[in-house]
Amino acid sequence: MTAELPPKLAAHPSVRAVLAQRRASPPPVLDAARLRELCLAAGADDVAAVSLDHPDLAGEREHVLAALPGTRSLVAMAFRMNRDNCRSPARSVANQEFHQTDELANHAARSITQSLQDAGYRALNPSVGFPQEMDRYPGRIWVVAHKTVAVAAGLGVMGLHRNVIHPKFGSFVLLATVLVDAEVSEYGQALDYNPCIDCKLCVAACPVGAIRKTGEFDALACATHNYREFMSGFTDWVQTVADSADAADYRSRVTDSESASMWQSLASPPGYKSGYCVAVCPAGEDVLGPYLDDRRTFMDTVLRPLQDKTETLYVLPGSPAQDHARRRFPHKPAKEVTGGWQPPPKRS
């Protein structure tokens, strides 16, 4: 190879060092057991790999290869969250749990990627949550669909609430994915059963009726409320600021607590407004016991505090979410917002 290089380049100290130390390519197939050990040691609570050629990942293939050309396998990982933190009516407690686990998952995925890189593989770990590709907004902003990958790898099944239910840890998991340019000696297998116990508590807990008993899901209602301080909701808030004539007009539209909450989301990781569907889900072998032992107590201590909480619900005008909020939760003020989905009115 040296003979093919220009003399000046071949004589460079860095080039000479690389050529002198160049080692053979790593094995084309990663050992599944060693890969699992690596992931668990980094902090993952469960892991399984899936081939990019898996039929359920056909819709991901283009995006994955754009992120890391040559990807052959995806390593799906689940990270447990503390259940009672997620179930707390205090959003600061629940959001702290989400973001702490998110940070752990990102650190673990990065560590695993670095280990694979050091072993001679090309690997990449997309963000567990944010940041994402906002230049594509409002289109697909995520690099890889972690839920789709996790289900294909056999880490769980998509629940009625559109979260992956792990067979052991239930809904209390965050997901991460590592892309790698190698095959794995053994791939995960899809679960042959659904961990969901069909209790419909997620339907009962959702304050804007985004989850339907029939299996339908109103993604717009969910995003408008739960993501009030993300993306579209932030856009709506900015439009409110721009439309306000003065401070008094702004304060007539936005309460002090809403302004403080938006400030907190800007200063710290942004806060989810709900997530109650995850909070009340009793599925998963590690989670199910208290529900089976005493369902009445479970309802009283987990479901009802979330239902009874007085909080602002953000809904689109005339939407099913608005009707649901007014009918089922009259003690929760329903505030009409554009959600940021509508363009601002044109100037005359």
Q: What is the pLDDT of residues 27-54, one digit of tens each?
A: 999 999 999 999 999 999 999 999 999 9
Query: Cis link prior to 138 (omega < 30° from 0)?
Result: yes
Q: How far is CA 299 from CA 103, 287, 327, in A?
A: 31, 14, 20
Tokens of residue 304, six digits: 């009802």
Q: Which domains does the chain have, with CATH numbers?
A: 26-184 (3.40.109), 201-336 (no CATH)
- Spell out the residues 6+ positions from residue 210 whose beta carbon is closer than 8 angstroms to its own: 217, 218, 219, 221, 222, 225, 321
Q: How far apart are the first and last CA of the chain?
A: 68
Burial class (CB in 10 A: 0-12, 13-18, 19+), 215: exposed
pLDDT mean over 231-255: 94
Res. 140 pLDDT band, cuts 50 70 90: very high
Q: What is the pLDDT of residues 304-331, one digit of tens each?
A: 999 999 999 999 999 999 999 999 999 9
Within 10 angstroms of residue 23's Cβ, the number of other Cβ atoms is: 6
More confident residue, 9 or 174: 174
